[in-house]
A and B are shown apart, each in its own frame.
Chain A
Amino acid sequence: MPETPVAPEEMRFSDALAELETIVSELESGQLELEDSIARYERGVALLRACQAQLAEAEQRVTMLMGELESDDTSDDA
């Protein structure tokens, strides 16, 4: 377990998801003490919430590295 875990809200989606999956497999292994299990579970729930929130609220960010984007006259968004 990391000494000071990063707040799930501040993590990149892929990192949060990877940590969540690690926690699930740790819990499934049955090797943890009960106290640790509960702590890991709580961390897992927090990660899960953060991932779900990111997924629900994400707005696409577009950055130009080179050139300028011409507007799209076939855009399907209002």
Chain B
Amino acid sequence: MSDAPRALTVTEAMGWAKRTLEGAPLRVIGEVSEATDRSGYKAVYFTLCDGSSVMSCLMWRDVFGASGVSLREGMLVEVTGTLTVYAPKGRMQFQVRTLQAAGEGALRMQVAALARRLEAEGLMRIERRRPLPEFPDRIALVTSPRGKAVHDVIRTLRRRYPIAELLIAGVAVEGAGAVGSIVDGLRAAGASRADVVILARGGGSYEDLMPFNDEAVARAVVACPVPVVTGIGHEPDTSIADMVADLRASTPTAAAEAVAPSADEVGGRLEAQRRLLARALSGSVRAAERRVAVLRSHAVFRDPKALTATAAQRLDVAASGLPRALPGRLSRDRVRLDAAAVRLTGSASRSLERFGAELRLAASRLEDLSPLGILARGYAVCYAEDGAVVRSSNTLDPGDRVLVRLHRGAAGCLVESVRNEGNGTDA
């Protein structure tokens, strides 16, 4: 063994530490606290902690911008990079190369929480979903102008339904600006007088699809004035945008198929209309023919004289009877007059006798009918407050006041209960 190693200078010690640490790349998960993101700085500074330790981090601004993550305190993130030493201050810090929200599990929980919130607002109700136009004249597509999705949609629409004009809003579907870009694209599509909007993106990892799980995108879908069909990624992931869309298709191609009828289908429908049109017209013509035929077979047209025959005959009969009618009528009236005179004299005396008898009978019945006579026998008359005679308990309600007229005098009464007929006989 030689002598103890020579003492290092501070700079040498820090240099050694720096070399040793930087040789070991690390992947670290932790919770963000104290994030500083000032536009003047070359780097973004933040601190990660796990409850018992803290680690200062720095991330160069260009690398940070590309990560698309917006740091918030309390957020769980996963970083890769190396620990390093800042010798002038003797401080150790972690230099971050990559940054992402930690773990799909955390993301999924975040997304599920947003889904529950939007659902509670009623944005996922089935009644909210608008029907798609059957024959869209303009279809707007919001998707990346690069990659497979946009061309899948273009091709599918060209094959199925080239009649429709296709309006494309090319947007960023991943990275830092994706959410804002998709929202702008949806607004442009909504303002474009399109009949329906497709929001599409090819498949990707769960993280790749995060912009479609963003609340701002969800609200832009909801605010779109025309129906929105989503074709995002692949089964089985369902994004929030899918949940609030008017129709969810599993891929961009499926979305295009959903918004446009196929030209064959439309051709078949036109052919059906052609047949119906021809049949409907021949139906109208046949109906008109039938009406003409019925009229033609009518007696009036077969024998025009029939129209006047009856009247002509009646005229003839009347004309022939007229000369005979006058003298005959006069002698008949004389006989009737004589008979009437005889009956008049005879009936006068008989009538008087009968009237006398009837008068006597009526007088005796009049006595019986007098209301006073009836009251004397113990009956009473009940008057309502307006003076009308009460004939049925149906017109009374408990609490009504009535006047009961007796043989002698009267009593004001309060109705306690009412028992209508049909509810049982009186006790």
Contacts and interface: CB of A to CB of B under 8 A. Distances in A.
A76 B277 CA distance: 39
A55 B269 CA distance: 12
A69 B166 contact: no
Contact of B163 (A20, A54, A70, A74): A54
B292 to A, nearest CB: 10
Given A14-B135, A74-B151, A65 B168 contact: yes
A69 B141 CA distance: 12
Contacts of A67: 145, 168-171
Interface string B193-209: 00100000000000000
B277 A44 contact: yes
A38 to B, nearest CB: 7
B322 to A, nearest CB: 50
B135 A52 contact: no
Contacts of B254: none
A30 B283 contact: yes
B20 to A, nearest CB: 47
Nearest to A37: B284
Interface residues of A, number: 40
Given A14-B135, A34-B285, A52-B270, A28 B167 contact: no
Given A14-B135, A68-B145, A75-B151, A37 B166 contact: no
Contacts of A64: 145, 167-170
B157 A14 contact: no
B287 A13 contact: no
A75 B284 CA distance: 51
A45 B277 CA distance: 8
B214 interface: no
Contact of A41 (B145, B163, B281): B281
Interface stretch (B36-44, B77-85, B181-189, B353-361): B181-189
A72 B168 CA distance: 15
A62 interface: yes
Interface size class on chain B is 35 or more
Given A23-B277, A51-B270, A59 B162 contact: yes
Interface in B152-180: 154-155, 157-158, 162-171
Nearest to B192: A65
A27 B169 contact: no
A48 B269 CA distance: 11
Contacts of A48: 270, 273-274, 277
Interface in A20-78: 20-21, 23-24, 27-28, 30, 32, 34, 37-38, 41, 44-45, 48, 51-52, 54-55, 58-70, 72, 74-76
Contacts of A68: 145, 170
- Which one of B136, B164, B168, B284 has the greatest number of beta carbons of chain A within 10 Å? B284
B279 to A, nearest CB: 8
A72 B285 CA distance: 56
Contacts of A32: 284
Contact of A60 (B146, B166, B277, B281): B166
A12 B147 CA distance: 32
A20 B165 CA distance: 22
B280 interface: yes
A18 B403 CA distance: 74
Nearest to A59: B162
B163 A58 contact: yes
Contact of B145 (A13, A27, A52, A69): A69
A3 B154 CA distance: 39
B270 A24 contact: no
Contacts of B135: 13-14, 17
A51 to B, nearest CB: 5
Contacts of B151: 72, 74-75
B137 A14 contact: yes
Contacts of A54: 163
Top 10 nearest A-B pairs (CB, nearest first) are A67-B170, A27-B280, A14-B135, A72-B151, A37-B284, A58-B162, A41-B281, A66-B169, A60-B162, A65-B169
10 contacts: A21-B273, A24-B280, A30-B287, A34-B288, A41-B277, A59-B162, A65-B192, A67-B169, A67-B171, A69-B150
